[in-house]
Amino acid sequence: MNTQISNAPSEAESTDMSTASPFLSVRDVHAYYGESYIVQGVSFDLGESEILALLGRNGAGKTSTLRTIARTEIPAMRSGEIMLGDTELHKMQSYQASQASVQLVPEDRRIIAGLTVEENLTLAQVAPPIGWELDRIYSHFPRLAERRKQEGITLSGGEQQMLAVARSLARDLKLLLLDEPYEGLAPVIVQEIEKIMLEIKELGITTIIVKQNAVAALQLADRALILEMGQVVFDGSAKEVLENEDLRHEYLAI
């Protein structure tokens, strides 16, 4: 059985943690694919503008946890609590979570076929709440500006990832959930995506990144949460994971 690893806070830190409300609070969440028990009592807190690397081996429950927070229909959450400030996300459906400024960028990116880059962005703004205007998006994503009239699904993998993130910014965005954002991308494109993530962090947007290959996410993140068979086995700083070879080898195989 895995033992959860944690750093015991000092008395002063405990006082601060008890008085400060987390931006995102996930409490004892259990979720299932049919009868398969996938997310097994996951709990963690996340502060505003923090970046969390959600890590673990293949099948550890990372994507399922992310999808549960986004309130997708699958997996089905059977118990627990997910609070975004005072908003009870656990009582919502996915479209309501999106209206509450939670935006999920899935691994397959879901760029809409037949629509240009600009049409993919403007479609995200059909219903309120609306986020960034197009000019602001293009100022942060000049590559998308160059390709605004190009069909979205004909973009390179890295450009599609940029479009998927930009589409989230076109909505009102407080919590960004990224599932394997670097998958299949060249290192130079990964660096561009990381630069965009840091800009998003500076804007006060809280981000959770799911990544099986952990190093790139850890170098970007403030915090790390490691899952093993649907349970939390580590909750601490990203720096600690980067510096702890035994921890990385045991739970991440790196």
Q: Are 61 and 229 in contact (CB under 8 A)?
A: yes
pLDDT at 197 over 50: yes
Paired strand residues for 36: 33
d(CA 174, CA 6) in angstroms, rounded, equals 27
Count other C-beta atoms under 10 Å from residue 57's C-beta: 15
The percent of residues above 70 in pLDDT, for the chain, comes to 92
What CATH number does domain 22-246 carry, 3.20.20.150, 3.40.50.720, 3.40.50.300, 2.120.10.30? Answer: 3.40.50.300
Per-residue pLDDT, averaged over 13-25, amounts to 65
The backbone region for 168, taken as left when phi is positive above 0, alpha when psi lies in -120 to 50, beta otherwise, is alpha
CA 60/CA 53 separation, integer angstroms: 14
Q: pLDDT tens for residues 229-241?
A: 999 999 999 999 9
Q: What percent of the chain has pLDDT over 90?
A: 74
Identify the CA nearest to 152 among candidates 182, 186, 113, 187. 113
Mean pLDDT computed over 188-215: 88
Domain ranges of the chain: 22-246
Q: Which two tokens stand for residue 16?
A: 């601060």
Predicted confidence (pLDDT) at residue 18 exceeds the cutoff of 50: no
Token pair 């999106």 in the structure block, residue: 98
Sorting pLDDT into bands at 50, 70 and 90, what band is 20?
low
- pTM for the complete prediction? 0.89
Mean pLDDT calculated for residue range 12-41: 82
pLDDT (tens digit, 9 = 90+) per residue, 111-147? 999 999 999 999 999 988 899 999 999 999 999 999 9
| Cβ atoms within 10 Å of 2's Cβ, excluding its own | 14
